[in-house]
Amino acid sequence: MNDITTFVFDVDGVLTDGSVFVTNEGEMLRTMNIRDGYAIKAAIESGYNVCIISGGSNEGVRIRLRNLGVNDIHLGTPDKVKTLKEYADANSIKRENVLYMGDDIPDFHVMKLVGLPTCPQDASPEIKNICRYISHVKGGRGAVRDVIEQVMKVQGKWMEYFNGKHD
């Protein structure tokens, strides 16, 4: 965790609990954890890169993430490996400095490319088997907050962020 400069997150099952509420009009609604959002904002304001790579494409998700300060949002991504490589190359990020949190098979190959593959407590067994850190928290319930907080604490930046200007 000492060398992490970049957080990459999947959406469904990581930033959400994987549930989708479908309205009579066919709109699909998701819920996100406020504490996850707070940690994302803290990471960005502390100088970390934050990137979202998801196969799903929901404009509400994009709006929520933009409001948190996330600029690198890749929704509707059919090839997560290609997207991660392009993102890392374009931003001169070494893959060994990347923490990726995924929860299911579509994340498998991209997670094998990063320095710190992580997952929520309720991830699929195949994903858990390749992770170097498994959160004690389920997806959509604070798993993102957990990994961000762990990295920032190891690097001495967690409480530093809150001292003074972010009370």
Judge whether residue 93 has pLDDT over 60. yes
For the ranges 21-35, 54-68, 131-145, the one whose mean pLDDT is highest: 131-145
Summarize the confidence of residues 49-61 as an average pLDDT: 93
Beta bridge partners of 53: 74
Judge whether residue 166 has pLDDT over 80. no
Summarize the confidence of residues 75-86 as an average pLDDT: 96
* pLDDT value of residue 161: 84
Domains, the chain: 6-162 (3.40.50.1000)
Q: Flag whether 107 is marked binding.
A: no
Characterize 17-35 residue by residue with b for buried, 16 or more Cβ atoms within 10 angstroms of its Cβ, and e for exposed. bbeeeeeeeeeeebebbeb
What whole-number distance in Å separates Cα of residue 148 and Cα of residue 88? Answer: 19
* pLDDT value of residue 17: 93
pTM of the model: 0.94
Chain mean pLDDT for the chain: 94
Higher-scoring residue by pLDDT: 26, 143: 143
Question: Residue 109: which of 137, 83, 135, 90 has the closest Cα?
Answer: 83
Asked if 55 contacts 78 with a C-beta cutoff of 8 angstroms, the reply is yes
What confidence category does residue 62 fall into, taking pLDDT thresholds of 50, 70 and 90? very high
Q: For CA atoms 13, 14, 19, 20, give the dihedral sign.
A: negative
In the DSSP assignment, the letter for residue 113 is T
Judge whether residue 50 has pLDDT over 70. yes
Judge whether residue 49 has pLDDT over 70. yes
Judge whether residue 80 has pLDDT over 90. yes
Beta bridge partners of 22: 28
Task: Output the DSSP codes for 47-112.
Answer: T-EEEEE-S---HHHHHHHHHTT--EEE-S-S-HHHHHHHHHHHTT--GGGEEEE--SGGGHHHHT
Residues 6 or more apart whose Cβ sits within 8 Å of residue 137: 120, 121, 143, 145, 146
Judge whether residue 57 has pLDDT over 90. no
* pLDDT value of residue 160: 87
Question: Residue 99: which of 147, 30, 38 has the closest Cα?
Answer: 147
